[in-house]
Amino acid sequence: MVQVKVSEGVLEGELVENEYGGTFYSFKGIPFAQPPTGDLRFKAPQPPKPWQGVRSAKEFGPICYQFSYTNHTLDNMSEDCLYLNVYSPDIKPTPPIPVMVWIHGGGFIWGSGNDDLYGPEYLITHDVVLVTLNYRLEALGFLCLDTPDIPGNAGVKDQVAALRWIKKNISNFGGDSENITIFGESAGAGSVACHLISPMSRGLFKRVICQSGAATCFWSRAFEPRERALLLARQLGFLSEDDQELYHFFKTLPVESLVNLKLQITMSQKSHDRIYFTVVDEKDFGNERFFFGDIVDAVKTGTHKGVDIMTGYTQHEGLMALAISDAEEEIITSAKCYRDFFTPKHIQTHCPMIDHFKAARLIRKFYFKGEDMTADHLDQLIKFLGTDMFAHGVMLTAKLNSKSNTVYFYKFSCTSERNCFSSFFGVGHLNKEKSMVCHADDLAYLFPIKVLSEKVHKNSKTFKLINRVTTLWTNFAKYGNPTPDNSLEVKWNPFTAEEQDYLEIGNELKPGKSPDKEEMECWNDVFREILPKFCA
């Protein structure tokens, strides 16, 4: 047992044996804000209240009430969910230790900072402090009525509250408050990318890692958020559009009504869109706003200067899109039947219908060379979905950020028995022989992931991959450079819009230029002609 004093009182954690070497100190379930319940539902998080005596930090706090697509037996869920966990190799080091703060993904719908997926055992062997956290999800975290009572962005304001608490208290756990890296995957990466342009987050971190997500991915920002809230109200049987009546309705709903939502936002909504509530352009009501304005303009001019950035995507991101469509056959049928299925989402949102078909014709010509979409073209369909959802936005943001910040770009293609997420997402049958690297497969090389049954032996080829990936990530957190020496026998050069240096992180490390060059050039040409704002 070990005790640490923080701003609210004394915490008692424990010293844990790490099966991958050494020991670490564990502090779980630390409140970083008041419970966002009752009148605080949908509101910005409030500072945590102090406690008397010693508070036990040996159990995880409740996670946000949710429906998980990968674990239908979740328990310990509550609206009272604003807790974080700190893992440190040394609570009294000299000098203090670099800090890595993990923001989990899950489509802003599910997930937590708990160790079922995000345990510290791999990363902490590299002498970093790891912090994981919870935040409000789905409608609880991102409902927006464009009113003072429900202005939106509560979930990312939760993340800001956690980062402020970490900045203030992490030195008590041995962490360096001047060397904090925030990192995340998917919706976590979208969150991290938005912190990079948020006025609320300025000065709270030194570096960021965005894995398979960016501020310019279409799902990172909610289009017409009030309309989404009104649609949800109507779907739940409430027809009034009066602001106060709506607020009372949403505030008093049972929490079960605000999770596992299925909304048809528009008649033409694509079947692979399932993120309804996310970051919004927040109206000014005299309080702190997490984000406001145009997202591309913000990335161009509002990116926090001097923050180092690492970003990239996995080799077959689009495999997941077939899973979240609810019906794999449905999405394939739509791709066969509807020409405008291949309209990039940003063009679908911002441009008239005539441009939808123009863009779709250009995109289909690139992927299918004039042939009809059939089951034999599934690989090409997966490539399109992955670029629409992830790769185009990640590349666009990297190009824009590289004009003012140091950026390291990667493409992740490791394959081993750790590549498990296609099975988690229910599309493993598509991946039996092709060794696709699915969205989120990179997570298994950073975290133990308890649901994987097989333990990784330290002398195995797989553990060498894990050690290589965690070395790259922690080197970046420590030094702002993933390859500061020749220990990995590779030099990873910074990315620029002109040269587009990147690192292929596969079973071998291979430097290269212009990842997926022809595909990215096609998309860039389409956007340059139809929607230049999303072209770089």
Which H/E stretch holds residue 104? Answer: none
Does residue 477 have a pLDDT over 90? yes
Question: Quick one: pLDDT at residue 288?
Answer: 97
Q: 237-256: per-residue pLDDT in tens?
A: 999 999 999 999 999 999 99
Average pLDDT of every residue of the chain? 93
Q: What is the DSSP letter of 7?
A: T
Contact 454/476 with Cβ under 8 angstroms? Answer: no
Strands 54-56, 23-31: pairing is unpaired
User: From CA 359, how far away is CA 347, in angstroms rounded?
Assistant: 8
Q: How many residues in the chain? A: 536
Band (68; pLDDT cuts 50, 70, 90): low
pLDDT of residue 269 exceeding 60, the answer is no
CA dist 223 → 101, 187, 276, 291 (Å): 28, 16, 9, 14
Q: In the structure, what pLDDT confidence band is assigned to residue 328 with cuts at 50, 70 and 90?
A: low
Spatial CA neighbour of 246 closest among 150, 139, 136: 150
State residue 256's pLDDT score: 92
pLDDT score at 72: 59
Gyration radius (Cα) of the chain, Å: 22
Lowest mean pLDDT among 193-202, 333-342, 434-443: 333-342
Provide the pLDDT confidence category of residue 315 given band limits of 50, 70 and 90: very high
Place of tokens 């990363």: 123
Given a cut of 90, whether residue 433 has pLDDT beyond it is no
In tens, the pLDDT along 197-227 reads 999 999 999 999 999 999 999 999 999 999 9
pLDDT digits (tens, 9 = 90+) for 346-386: 999 999 999 999 999 999 999 998 787 777 788 999 999 99
Residue of higher predicted confidence among 535 and 372: 535
Q: What is the mean pLDDT of residues 325-349?
A: 82
- What is the rounded (10 degree) CA torsion for 252, 254, 256, 260? -20
Q: Is the pLDDT of residue 37 over 70?
A: yes
pLDDT of 326 strictly over 70: no
pLDDT of residue 237: 95
User: Among 65-74, 151-160, 283-292, 407-416, whose mean pLDDT is lowest?
Assistant: 65-74
Backbone angles phi, psi at 98, to 5 degrees: -55, 150
Q: Calculate mean pLDDT across residues 451-455.
A: 75
Q: Is the pLDDT of residue 272 over 80?
A: no
pLDDT tier for residue 271 given thresholds of 50, 70 and 90:
very low
Residue with the bigger pLDDT between 378 and 525: it is 525
Burial pattern 477-493, b for ≥16 Cβ within 10 A else e, equals bbebbbbeeeebebebe
Residue owning tokens 């009182």: 9
**What pLDDT shows up at residue 70?**
58
| Catalytic residue positions, numbered | 186, 317
Residue 335 predicted with pLDDT over 90: no
pLDDT for 275: 86
Nearest-CA neighbor of 86 among 117, 39, 118? 118
Residue pair 275/108 in contact (Cβ under 8 Å)? The answer is yes
Task: Quote the tokens at residue 447.
Answer: 């975290």
User: Per-residue confidence at 154, pLDDT binned at 50, 70, 90?
Assistant: very high
Distance of CA 236 to the CA centre of its chain: 29
Tokens of 15: 């010293």
Q: Report whether pLDDT(267) > 60.
A: no
Which run of H or E residues covers position 55? strand 54-56
Q: Which domains does the chain have, with CATH numbers?
A: 2-304 (3.40.50.1820), 313-534 (3.40.50.1820)
Task: Give the global pTM.
Answer: 0.96
% residues pLDDT > 90 (the chain):
84
**What is the percent of the chain with per-residue pLDDT over 70, rounded to a whole number?**
95
pLDDT at 298 over 50: yes
Q: What is residue 65's three-state secondary structure? A: coil
Query: Quick one: pLDDT at residue 118?
Result: 97
525 vs 73, more confident: 525
Region of 451 on the Ramachandran plot (φ > 0 left; ψ -120 to 50 alpha; else beta): alpha
Answer whether 195's CB lies under 8 Å from 149's CB: no
Return the pLDDT at 266.
65
pLDDT at position 73 is 62
DSSP string, 14-46: EEEE-TTSSEEEEEEEEE-S----GGGTTSPP-
